Chains A and B, each alone.
Chain A
Amino acid sequence: MKVVKSAFKFKGGVHPDYNKGLANNKLIEALPMPSELVISMSQHLGAPAKCIVKPGDYVSRGQIIGERNGFISVCVRASASGLVKAVEKRLGPAGGKADAVILDTTASAPEGVEMLGDGPVLKPLDWENSSREELIARVEEAGICGMGGAGFPTSVKLNPPPGKRCEYLIINGAECEPYLCADHRVMVEKASRIRLGVEIMRKILGECAVRIAVESNKPDAIQALSEAFADISGNVEIVVLSVLYPQGSEKHQIFATVKRIVPEPPALPIDVGCVVENVSTAVAIADAVEKGEPLLERVTTVSGDAISEPKNILAPCGTKYSDLVQFCSGTKETPAKVISGGTMMGFAVPSLEIATTKTTSGILLLSSRRVFQYTSGPCINCGRCVRACPMCLNPADISKAVEANDISDAERAHVMTCIECGACSFSCPAYRTITQFCRRAKNSIRARIAAEKAKAAAAQNAAEKKEIQK
């Protein structure tokens, strides 16, 4: 194992105000169980899980309450024991309503009602003597999805399609988003768990080189990881990345660590022989396999200049933001904006009644001094967004095309390659919401493709029916 400095720098990128000092030296604290949890069925990328409990049911900690619903999907388990008060549509952090189970954690089941025990929900596995399939099945049944933000089902990622082999397992500890330091604390405090997760993933993926990518602004994390990984066998390197946003993006990390370029979508990292997993996901895998503990809680950074005591909190998935804020001794002043996630890619949320999910890495409460009220102007063709775009796109062109409602022109400008990192909007002197324009174009294109697919499927169905009738 050695620590190396990344030799490759991607084009573009920006340097936002990091503000990590607010919480990056705060130990992870466990949240006392809140009295009510709101567990969403849509905590991951892909199809939402299918809710299988109904109001009045008593569920126990770790019990499956949402079944996996399709290939790109994961199951949802109850984060705590309690009574299902209601199953209703609730607003999620990214906008849009999804089914959510409202759980009263103070209620205990009356006599005669069956509940699972309080011990490990799944049986601990001896990972060294388990088969690859057993381990993948464990990752799947533990409900693990990527915890960096996108929430891609991990079991799908760890099971490359036939003909594709993983050469590099990249562990993402860059955490380039401003304010957030949940992954940073996990690396410092749970480095040995990360190591175990890496060893299990290496067993699942077959012999592959491991690259652990950490930005150079986290020296204590690099120190902790190099101690934990000191005697690991095989090709393992800790790659120290330069501090640059969006260093934590999957594609840029692959470039920065192994200098491979992921082609345009629908290509995935596995097409260039790479699998990227977040450090917290590695910990979740280690817990699921070794302790039989499904993914029920995660570390969330609660920070921002409006919060009294910024903290890193280990909270059950489904904790309401208001409970987390209360645990941080409330707010110093009225927040002007609440952001779920980091300042660059996070979503502004309308209330604190929204609950955390498996992918909530942070909640930021910003005062009016930090929130800039702007008015967008016309593009002045300065080219700063072009220089900032890490995907080598021309965001100015795309934004102007979308503004003129010409989505096909935006598509020709490769808008689907956009990773929505926000570097263009950040660098725009005319305060244009360029990322939003890109998202609008991507949504319309996705909708169009889905409609075309549905049409083709319907036509094929009709043709098949005709043939049968003949």
Chain B
Amino acid sequence: MITAIVCIAGIGLVASFVLAVADKYLSVQEDPRIGLVLSELPGANCGGCGFAGCDAYARALVEGTAPNGACPAGGEAVAAKIAGILGVEASATEKRVALVKCCGTRSEAIRVGDYNGICDCNVAAMTAGGDKGCVYGCLGYGACANVCPKGAISIYDGLAKVDKRLCIGCGKCVSVCPKKLIELVPSSATIHVLCNNPDKGPSVRKVCGVGCMGCHLCEKNSGGKEAGHFTFQGFLAKVNYSNPPTDEQIVAKCPAKCMSVDPLLESGH
């Protein structure tokens, strides 16, 4: 009994001595600001800044190799706090959120087959481009929802919907979508074109009741081509987010009903 106590106590003493010496001579000097910066970052490790996680971004910030304000999740508030710690200017960035550019729900967009394979858009897209008649449209098998670190994307009626309040703009859904129809847009923009089909009107109409036909009415109603609120790719209208339209009247006038005022908010649940 006594032997055991003496042995353990002896090992403890020797070990503590070794640790004390190691602490004195082998300690790594870490910039205390890294911890401070890290505590300000959201800690979601979403990778939206382009670094491996919040820790890597904090280190890069303190080393001065990363721009302040690259964190899409934290936005301006966090950038300002970090600027206070580091004494640098925050580069102004507007919060960006994901937008699913499709509004072809199961009732509006036709489905050409019954797909009962793996529930993942990328896999479904390998089978004849997916079961949706419109090959540009959202398949609704939730590849984006699966990668979203914040659970901001949910699938309603065969269509992915983003909750603007939860989205941190990390862009993971943008890269995973096989149809490439998710775009990061400024969170202040309210008017969006929810279609991704650049084909001519009749062929869009064949597959979807709410597809953009490229009639240019939105452009005309928002002040013509000179106003520059819209750009066109083939027969598809796109909102020019560096100069977004503000007149919400044009949404109701869209004959294809593919425009929407802030679809990101209304989808909240």
Interfacial residues, chain A to chain B (CB-CB below 8 A): 91, 94-97, 347-351, 373-376, 405, 433, 436-437, 439-440, 443-444
Contacts and interface: CB of A to CB of B under 8 A. Distances in A.
Contacts of B1: none
A443 B130 CA distance: 15
Top 3 A-B pairs, shortest CB-CB distance:
A350-B112, A95-B128, A95-B129
B135 interface: yes
B120 A440 contact: yes
Interface string B125-142: 111111101010000000
Given A376-B116, A433-B117, 6 more contacts: A91-B135, A350-B131, A405-B146, A433-B118, A436-B118, A443-B126
Contact of A437 (B118, B125, B128): B118
Max count, chain A CB within 10 A of own CB: residue among B125, B127, B131: B127
Interface string B91-134: 00000000000000000000011001110101101111111010
Given A91-B128, A96-B129, A436 B122 contact: no
Contacts of B117: 433, 436
Given A91-B135, A97-B135, A350-B131, A375 B116 contact: yes
Nearest to B112: A350
B123 A440 contact: yes
A233 B235 CA distance: 63
Nearest to B113: A350
Given A91-B135, A97-B135, A439-B123, A350 B118 contact: no
A350 B135 CA distance: 12
Given A95-B127, A96-B129, A439-B126, A348 B120 contact: no
B125 A95 contact: yes
A444 B178 CA distance: 11
Interface of B: 112-113, 116-118, 120, 122-123, 125-131, 133, 135, 146
A172 to B, nearest CB: 26
Contacts of B112: 350-351
Contacts of B128: 91, 94-95, 347-350
Contacts of A91: 128-129, 135
Contact of B122 (A376, A433, A440): A440
A353 B116 CA distance: 22
Contacts of A437: 118, 123
A350 B128 CA distance: 7
A97 B129 CA distance: 8
Contacts of A347: 127-128
B115 to A, nearest CB: 9
Max count, chain B CB within 10 A of own CB: residue among A95, A349, A376: A95
A436 B125 CA distance: 11
A229 to B, nearest CB: 40
A95 B128 CA distance: 3
B236 to A, nearest CB: 14
Contacts of B131: 350
A95 B126 contact: yes
11 contacts: A91-B129, A95-B126, A347-B127, A348-B113, A349-B128, A350-B112, A350-B113, A351-B112, A436-B123, A437-B118, A440-B118
A349 B126 CA distance: 11
A423 B163 CA distance: 42
A97 B199 CA distance: 13
Contacts of A351: 112
Contacts of A97: 129, 135
Nearest to B125: A95
Contacts of B127: 95, 347-348, 436
Nearest to A403: B118
Contacts of B113: 348, 350
Contacts of B126: 95, 436, 439-440, 443
B127 to A, nearest CB: 6
A298 B106 CA distance: 39
A443 B122 contact: yes
Contacts of A405: 146
A349 B115 CA distance: 11
Nearest to B128: A95
Contacts of A96: 129
A191 B206 CA distance: 47
B123 A374 contact: no
Contacts of A94: 128
A42 to B, nearest CB: 13
A48 B131 CA distance: 24
Max count, chain A CB within 10 A of own CB: residue among B120, B125, B130: B120
B31 to A, nearest CB: 30
A431 to B, nearest CB: 10
Contacts of A375: 116
Contacts of B129: 91, 95-97
A400 to B, nearest CB: 13
B84 to A, nearest CB: 36
A443 B127 CA distance: 13
A376 B120 CA distance: 14
B158 to A, nearest CB: 16
A11 B189 CA distance: 60
A444 B123 CA distance: 10
Contacts of A376: 116, 118
A367 to B, nearest CB: 15
A347 B113 CA distance: 13
A256 to B, nearest CB: 30
Contacts of B125: 95
Max count, chain A CB within 10 A of own CB: residue among B130, B131, B135: B135
B116 A373 contact: yes
Nearest to A371: B114
B130 to A, nearest CB: 8
Contacts of B146: 405
A96 B120 CA distance: 17
A375 B126 CA distance: 19
B116 A374 contact: yes
B40 to A, nearest CB: 31
